[in-house]
């Protein structure tokens, strides 16, 4: 990700890769986010709600 | 590019045999190619089986025909859901992952043997599931809600299938690493690969949720666990059931971009914007799983609203962006190709006779207008009560997974046959009509099921006339019967389109004209710049009058339909 490009295309020097592009270029960071966000907001929160439903007598 | 077969003189890493594709200039890893073939063929076989079952279901729900007896109806409905939504779609998706990693990145596949293991597990799982369902003791339908219990073979089959799929997803991620380390590409991956990464990430969450719920359920079916809480089951099951639909969306959006690139030489309007739209999917799409639980009293309003309103709208925004940028990219490419007259020459002069293009464009339009709009309606907590558990729900998702995903995968297959199997389409005329037959059929069943659902017809019901019920509590209007009949007719059309697809694809693979000669030409040609599909780069224009008009029509339809449903809802309140 952080590695600098080997060769600049003819004519123009390549700029530094923008932050957001570095994020998007890192599939494992995306994998982490894509699993954690739903795991916390949907699954864990959801399971806590189910667990807190009082048990009928 | 002259040599057809070559062996990679890799940089001392691993040598893998590959060939150069004469049509696209892409480097094709042989192991990946074989795996793509096998997954695609397997997918098509399950589509044939599941499609036939779908026709059986639709003809049963046509009151004048009612072809299956009740016990068979629910059994066949269960088999239909599993064969098409799990096996057809996911086998095909694995082929998409191998294509988007090894082939688009010009890399070797990371671990072909492991990928084969994944395939075998998936196949064993799929066959075992059919065995369990056809035995007759696993008629639990797609959602398999507890405390309804299937045979333990059923749950085990799904676990085995999911483990296999997870293994193949891991091979995909490993291939990304290999390609990066062996420098097979420069800079960022192409957008189509990025879409596949999105699909793969969602697949990991999907399969993890599946494992969390199916393993205890399997133990329960074996008698090792005494009880599974039904609400707990629903919450975790939908983490799998809904998210797996989002694998489909990501995969078919990636395919839209791929076909636009290969057939028209299209480039994304903006790599940045399209990638941000995929990022919205990664972060938010899976949360919408909660829309399946909007009617559950055990879940709090905050949980429902955070997951289905705030977050889901961000994901819907992602789809809206693709809905603008895919036709936009097509318009921009066509204008470059010389079709510049008026607002719509780019569209009227598009290759409508090429089934890859027509299938892709029909998929795009129907996914947006039918599947997309109805999905937002169903996902709105207040409106959901109007249609909850009616036929509107299958109507909606046939708009997404049949008219959308399935049609897009079929369109892609018309390219896979010549490019991967290297056999040309044997009956071009049939192929040309196939997307229209299937597309109109699929659009029809979606709309008529939605229509019947709006009139209150329940889903998963053998007989809406309730002929042998003791008390006929409801009487459906004649219009509902009409809808069910029309649904049956369009189901026949869709089944015909499916049959033409399967027969033509199989015949082409077995006996189509060979395309490996030096001057062979494809009957449905690619664009000269088809290689675009493997490159990074934006079109960078927004001078797209046609697309702007189309998007305007879409928004108008969306807003109108949304408010019509609020109007319906307000009528139920009967204040006077
Ligand atoms: C020839 C094409 C098809 C026809 C005629 C068809 C028709 C139907 C009908 C009539 C139902 C039953 C609705 C009900 O009674 O509740 C149904 C259910 C379903 N269909 Fe299809 N379908 C077709 C293709 C597909 C495809 C390609 C997919 C997936 C990619 C799919 C996924 C499903 C699912 C998941 C269900 C729900 C099963 C359940 O409720 O357990 N269908 N289909
Ligand atoms: Cu859903």
Residue A13, min C-alpha distance to chain B (Å): 14
**Residue B188 is nearest to which of A25, A34, A51, comparing CB atoms?**
A25
- Residue B426 token pair: 């044997």
Distance CA B308, CA B564 (A): 21
Q: Which atom in ligand 1 lies closest to the alpha carbon of residue B497? A: 1
With CA atoms as reference, the chain B residue closest to A6 would be B186
Length of chain A as a residue count: 57
Chain B neighbors of A39, CB-CB under 8 A: 205
By most ligand atoms within 8 Å of CB, the mutation choice from B57, B86, B246, B437 for ligand 1 is B57
SS3 A18: coil
**Residue B283 is nearest to which of A33, A49, A50, comparing CB atoms?**
A33
Q: Which atom in ligand 1 lies closest to the alpha carbon of residue B393? A: 16
* Interface list for B 189-208 with A (CB within 8 A): 189, 194, 197-198, 201-202, 204-205, 208
**Could you tell me what percent of chain A has a pLDDT over 90?**
51
Query: Into how many domains does chain A fold?
Result: 1
Which of A10, A39, A46, A55 to substitute to test the interface with B, most B CBs within 10 Å? A46
**Contact between residue B224 and residue B216 where contact means Cβ atoms under 8 Å apart:** no
Put simply, the answer to whether B205 touches A39 (Cβ < 8 Å) is yes
Within-domain flag for A41: yes
What's the DSSP call for residue B256? H
Put simply, the answer to whether A38 touches B239 (Cβ < 8 Å) is yes
Q: Which atom in ligand 1 lies closest to the alpha carbon of residue B401? A: 30
**How far are the Cα atoms of B51, B61, B151, B168, B315 from residue B128, in angstroms, in the given order?**
19, 28, 11, 19, 35
Distance CA B464, CA B448 (A): 15
Higher pLDDT, residue A27 or B5:
A27
Question: Which residue has the least CA distance to atom 4 on ligand 1?
Answer: B54
- Residue B27 parent element (H or E): strand B27-29
Within-domain flag for A14: no
| A→B interface, C-beta within 8 Å | 5-6, 20-21, 24-25, 27-28, 30-31, 33-35, 37-39, 41-43, 45-47, 49-51, 53
pLDDT at residue A12 is higher than 60 = no
The per-residue pLDDT for B466 is 83
**Residue A34 is nearest to which of B232, B235, B282, comparing CB atoms?**
B282
The per-residue pLDDT for A4 is 47
The per-residue pLDDT for A21 is 87
* Residue with the two structure tokens 């707990």: B232
**Residue B283 is nearest to which of A28, A34, A47, comparing CB atoms?**
A34
Within-domain flag for A15: no
Question: Which residue has the least CA distance to atom 7 on ligand 1?
Answer: B54
The per-residue pLDDT for B516 is 85
- From the CA of B291, the nearest ligand is 2
The per-residue pLDDT for A19 is 86
Q: Which domain does A39 fall in, by range?
A: 25-51
The per-residue pLDDT for B121 is 98
**H helix runs in B103-222, sequence order:** 112-135, 152-181, 191-221
Put simply, the answer to whether A5 touches B187 (Cβ < 8 Å) is yes
Digits of tens for pLDDT over chain B (576 positions)?
333 444 444 444 566 789 999 899 999 999 999 999 999 999 999 999 999 999 999 999 999 999 999 989 999 999 999 999 999 999 999 999 999 999 999 999 999 999 999 999 999 999 999 999 999 999 999 999 999 999 999 999 999 999 999 999 999 999 999 999 999 998 899 999 999 999 999 999 999 999 999 999 999 999 999 999 999 999 999 999 999 999 999 999 999 999 999 999 999 999 999 999 999 999 999 998 999 998 899 999 999 988 887 777 788 889 999 999 999 999 999 999 999 999 999 999 999 999 999 999 999 999 999 999 999 899 888 888 889 999 999 999 999 999 999 999 999 999 999 999 999 999 999 999 999 999 999 999 999 999 999 999 999 999 988 887 777 777 899 999 999 999 999 999 999 999 999 999 999 999 999 998 888 899 999 999 898 899 898 988 888 999 999 999 999 999 999 999 999 888 887 665
Exposure letters B24-42 (e unless 16+ CB within 10 A, then b): bebbbbbbbbbbbbbbbeb
Crossing angle of the two packed helices B152-181 and B112-135, in degrees rounded to 10: 160
Q: Where are the domains of chain B?
A: 24-517+532-575
Sheet-wide strand order for B5-7: B5-7, B17-20, B27-29
The fold for domain B24-517+532-575 equals: Cytochrome C Oxidase; Chain A (1.20.210)
Computed on alpha carbons and rounded to an integer, the radius of gyration of chain B in Å comes to: 23
Chain A neighbors of B293, CB-CB under 8 A: 46
User: Using CA of residue B130, residue B438, residue B359, residue B20, what is the dihedral sign?
Assistant: positive
With CA atoms as reference, the chain A residue closest to B209 would be A43
Rounded to two decimals, the ipTM of the complex is 0.91
Within-domain flag for A1: no
């Amino acid at each position: 990700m952080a590695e600098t490009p080997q060769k600049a295309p003819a004519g123009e020097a390549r700029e530094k890769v923008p932050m957001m592009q570095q994020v998007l270029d890192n599939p494992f960071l995306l994998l982490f986010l894509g699993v954690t966000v739903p795991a916390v907001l949907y699954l864990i929160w959801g399971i806590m709600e189910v667990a807190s439903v009082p048990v009928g007598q | 590019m002259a040599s057809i077969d070559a062996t990679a003189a890799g940089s001392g890493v691993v040598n893998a045999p590959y060939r150069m594709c004469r049509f696209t200039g892409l480097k094709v890893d042989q192991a990946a190619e074989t795996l793509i073939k096998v997954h695609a063929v397997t997918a098509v076989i399950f589509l044939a089986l599941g499609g036939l079952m779908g026709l059986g279901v639709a003809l049963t729900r046509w009151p004048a025909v009612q072809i299956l007896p009740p016990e068979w109806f629910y059994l066949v409905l269960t088999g239909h859901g599993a064969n098409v939504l799990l096996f057809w779609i996911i086998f095909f998706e694995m082929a998409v992952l191998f294509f988007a990693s090894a082939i688009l990145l010009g890399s070797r596949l990371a671990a072909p043997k492991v990928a084969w293991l994944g395939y075998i597990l998936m196949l064993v799982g799929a066959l075992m599931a059919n065995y369990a369902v056809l035995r007759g003791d696993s008629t639990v339908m797609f959602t398999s809600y507890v405390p309804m219990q299937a045979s333990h073979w059923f749950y085990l089959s799904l676990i085995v299938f999911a483990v296999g799929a997870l293994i193949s997803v891991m091979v995909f991620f490993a291939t990304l690493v290999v390609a990066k380390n062996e420098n097979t590409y420069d800079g960022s991956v192409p957008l189509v690969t990025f879409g596949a990464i999105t699909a793969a990430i969602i697949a990991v969450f999907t399969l993890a949720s599946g494992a969390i719920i199916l393993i205890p359920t399997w133990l329960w079916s074996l008698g090792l666990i005494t009880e599974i809480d039904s609400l707990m089951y629903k919450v975790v099951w939908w983490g799998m059931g809904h998210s797996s639909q989002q694998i489909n969306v990501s995969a078919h959006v990636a395919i839209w971009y791929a076909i636009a690139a290969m057939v028209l030489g299209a480039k994304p309007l903006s790599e940045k914007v399209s990638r941000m739209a995929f990022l919205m999917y990664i972060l938010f799409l899976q949360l919408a799983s909660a829309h399946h639980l909007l009617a559950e009293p055990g879940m709090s309003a905050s949980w429902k609203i955070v997951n289905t309103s705030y977050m889901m709208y961000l994901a819907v925004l992602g789809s809206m962006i693709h809905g603008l940028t895919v036709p936009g990219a097509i318009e921009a490419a066509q204008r470059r190709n010389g079709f510049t007259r008026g607002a719509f020459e780019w569209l009227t002069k598009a290759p409508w006779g090429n089934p890859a293009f027509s299938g892709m464009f029909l998929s795009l339009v129907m996914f947006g207008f039918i599947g997309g709009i109805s999905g937002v309606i169903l996902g709105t907590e207040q409106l959901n009560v109007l249609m909850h558990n009616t036929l509107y729900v299958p109507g909606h998702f046939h708009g997404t997974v049949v008219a959308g995903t399935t049609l897009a995968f079929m369109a892609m297959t018309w390219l896979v046959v010549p490019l991967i199997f290297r056999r040309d389409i044997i009956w071009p005329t049939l192929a040309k009509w196939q997307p229209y037959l299937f597309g109109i059929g699929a659009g029809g069943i979606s709309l008529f099921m939605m229509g019947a659902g709006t009139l209150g017809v329940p889903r998963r019901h053998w007989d809406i006339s309730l002929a042998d019920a003791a008390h006929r509590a409801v009487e459906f209007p004649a219009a509902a019967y009409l809808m069910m009949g029309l649904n049956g007719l369009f189901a026949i059309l869709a089944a015909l389109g499916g049959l033409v697809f399967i027969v033509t694809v199989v015949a082409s693979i077995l006996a189509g004209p060979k395309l490996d000669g030096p001057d062979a030409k494809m009957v449905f040609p690619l664009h000269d710049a088809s290689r675009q599909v493997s490159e990074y780069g934006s079109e960078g224009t927004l001078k797209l009058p046609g697309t702007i008009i189309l998007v305007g029509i879409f928004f108008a339809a969306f807003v109108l339909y949304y408010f019509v449903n609020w109007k319906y809802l307000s009528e139920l309140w009967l204040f006077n």
